[in-house]
Homo-oligomer: A and B are copies of this chain.
């Protein structure tokens, strides 16, 4: 079981400033959240070349609900969450979901 916390950033007012701040300040902060088993980040794209609904997407992976809950309530997550308004001028949409494989290999 893997729980993914998705952080979908809306297009910021100044993308270059967002990119610089995210990589320089926010990644080091968010990387410190206890219990993380993975953390990925990249710009979003669309399937047809149109403007994607989000500018970029971060994925924070946790092994189970208990570890997620401990991570969410940690001082490190508090610091990372408090940092988001410093750069996310296009807003941030957060949600969780489990990575449950449904691939039918037949």
Contacts of A97 in B (CB 8 A): 42-45, 56-57
Asked if B44 contacts A101 (CB within 8 A), the reply is no
Asked if A102 contacts B45 (CB within 8 A), the reply is no
Contacts of A6 in B (CB 8 A): 6, 57
Chain B residue with Cβ nearest A96: B45
> Chain A 82-106, CB within 8 Å of chain B: the 1/0 string?
0000000000011111111111110
> Chain A 1-39, CB within 8 Å of chain B: the 1/0 string?
000011000000000000000000001100110001011
Q: Which of these, B5, B28, B46, B103, contacts A95 with CB under 8 Å?
A: B46
CB A64 to nearest CB in B, in angstroms, measures 14
